[in-house]
Amino acid sequence: MTALLLRIAPLGSGISLFGGVLGVACVGLFKKINVGLVRVLGLLSLALAAVFVFAHPATGSISTLLQADAITKAWCAVFYVGALPFLIAGTWEDEVAVLLLLGSLLGMTFLAFSANLLMLFISLELLSLPVYLLVALTPAKGKPSWEAAIKYFFAGSLSAAFFLLGLACHYSATGGFLFAGNGSFLDQVAFSLMAIAALFKIGAVPWHFWLPDVYEASEPMLSGFLSTSVKAAGVFLLMRLGQYSQGSFISLLPAIGALTMLVAAFAALNQTRLQRLLAYSSLGHAGVLVLGVGAWLLLGANEKNALPIFFYLFSYVFMSNGAFFFLELTGVSEWKDLRGLGKTRPVLAFCFAALALSLAGIPPTAGFLAKFLIFWQAFKAGLYVPLIAASFATLAALVYYLRIVREMYLEEGVSTSKIAAGTGAVSLIVSLSAAYSAIVGFLPWILSAFQRVLG
């Protein structure tokens, strides 16, 4: 019995989430569905999965399909924390949303534990398919979501096609599906094609066409999950591909990241709808992450140097979820809806201001510390031109982030925000996210805690 437990222990996180899927599905068989029970089952399975992830030592190879290292643990933490707000505060009438969310998290967990490219592809599809359905079934108020879901599905299908084509080239070049390449031209092409698939998932330019429409058409709380956990999965995929390849695409990543930041910053300047604005903000942060991955790969792609990317993603979980949940809580949709909020709802206005300043990277917020670490690593990697472009994009983005503060505190008007009853969980998430964003920048020593996760 003990030997059996030791053998299945590494699979504990996946078994926990799969058990949660089965439990939620069984609850859905009853005529009258207990939504509270569905939520509890989802939270319990997620908590058990987290316990198994952090209890298991980062021992390297587990089997031919699975492995575990410090990056596996760190990214599982980001996946789970990013999904937690939607699971806690999501509003649904049946079990479907939780079922799909747990299914996607199961795919993310196996993605983090994948030991070869075939398992990586299976995990990628397992995490993606439920998300397409979540977008279709969880629309924003007054927004048709099916068109966005179809666009997202076809973008994901194109991403999968690139990955499969790269997988076929890799098999032709090496005769297997192991991560390690042989450096041949065909194998470099293979990893480049698979990297394009990862950039699709992240939403980097020029593969970003689906992102604004999908984020805007989804319920704000779901957009928070898309912009954090799903984006983190794409970043993890890109890191794994770069870590084991000898492909020339690595040298292009800093330029792609800087270009993504520039496109996002200038596209956001003309936006009038706040949820679409936050979508372009998410695109800009995707550019920072791609730049960070490029710098990490050039500096040796070891676990210690992954700290800036891990800290950035973990901090962005709070910044992005907090901002999208603010829209859900207040119901504001355009700039004019923010006017006067500083007087009518000062606590909420302060929270949104703190989140906006952190997203902008203004000191001493968590966003500033996270962005500084990425930029410093890019400087150490000698990426001077992409770094200058990224800095210029950051300055341009200040225009719309500071406008949020101006509209709430300096513009005359009456806010149209209406907070419905029964939104205590959403308010708590916004408050905690704002507190993290505002306080962590004053506590740089907290980086040592993140470093311990990475060994």
pLDDT digits (tens, 9 = 90+) for 388-439: 999 999 999 999 999 999 988 887 766 555 655 457 888 999 999 999 999 9
Q: Any idea where the domains of the chain sit in the sequence?
A: 101-453
Provide the token pair at 55.
Answer: 């209890």
The confidence band for 9, taking pLDDT boundaries of 50, 70 and 90, is low
What gap in Å lies between CA 119 and CA 258, rounded to an integer?
A: 31
The confidence band for 51, taking pLDDT boundaries of 50, 70 and 90, is confident
Nearest CA-CA partner of 172 in 159, 158, 185: 185
**pLDDT higher than threshold 50 for residue 275:** yes
**pLDDT higher than threshold 60 for residue 4:** no
Prior bond to 364 cis, omega within 30? yes
Q: What is the mean pLDDT of the chain?
A: 87
**pLDDT higher than threshold 50 for residue 339:** yes
**pLDDT higher than threshold 50 for residue 1:** no
> Is the whole-model pTM more than 0.75?
yes
Q: What are 225-240's pLDDT values in tens digits?
A: 999 999 999 999 999 9
What gap in Å lies between CA 117 and CA 390, rounded to an integer?
A: 32
**pLDDT higher than threshold 50 for residue 76:** yes
Provide the token pair at 108.
Answer: 């993310």
Q: How far is CA 256 from CA 190, 193, 249, in A?
A: 19, 15, 10
Do residues 381 and 242 make contact, with C-beta atoms less than 8 angstroms apart? no
Q: What are 186-200's pLDDT values in tens digits?
A: 888 899 999 999 999
Give the percent of the chain with pLDDT over 70. 93
Question: Which pLDDT score, from 0 to 100, does residue 5 have?
Answer: 47
